[in-house]
Homo-oligomer: A and B are copies of this chain.
């Protein structure tokens, strides 16, 4: 979920499958109607059993009205067998890494389209270090989350190494999930 703010240069013959004109049109529309930019993303998560839960994603709010995905998406999460659990899905920590890789990769495609760079392949290897002393409550000095996260890209594109590095840098600059990881967000949790 990343759109950069460059002007379109030359995109003749380049097709990364991103409708940059529509995205730039949306940005232009904000000048007259800034309220259309207020979005709310949602998920409902139901406990199944043990550490197994199932998330559904169907609706969101934006462009001043209720919106729907074209279908309801469902995701199972669990802890692995090595944690005496059942591995019915990946762990929530891994889900965060999935989100980060997806956000930066979509951004690279959007920026490449704007810059007239044809992509052939983009592969991100995302890893997050975690010291379980945190979540196991064994050491109050150790955080529950990642000690650090690394993303390594291998990109095949019709561009120089410097141009490819600039694509990745611009994607980072406009990435929602990169921001969510690197900066604090207020989270409230309550029970009805």
Contact = CB atoms under 8 A, between A and B. Distances in A.
Interface of A: 1-5, 16-19, 22-23, 26-27, 30-31, 34, 36-47, 49-53, 55, 57, 60, 62-63, 67, 69-71, 73, 75, 77-85, 87, 89-106, 108-110, 119, 121-138, 143-146, 148-155, 161, 164-165, 168, 172, 174-192
Contacts of A55: 97-98, 101-102
Contacts of A165: 191
Nearest to A80: B69
7 closest pairs, A vs B, by CB?
A5-B137, A45-B101, A17-B50, A22-B84, A47-B122, A92-B103, A77-B102
Nearest to A144: B179
Nearest to A123: B46
A126 to B, nearest CB: 5
Contacts of A17: 49-52
Nearest to A25: B84
A49 B120 CA distance: 10
B190 A153 contact: yes
Contact of A145 (B96, B153, B183): B183
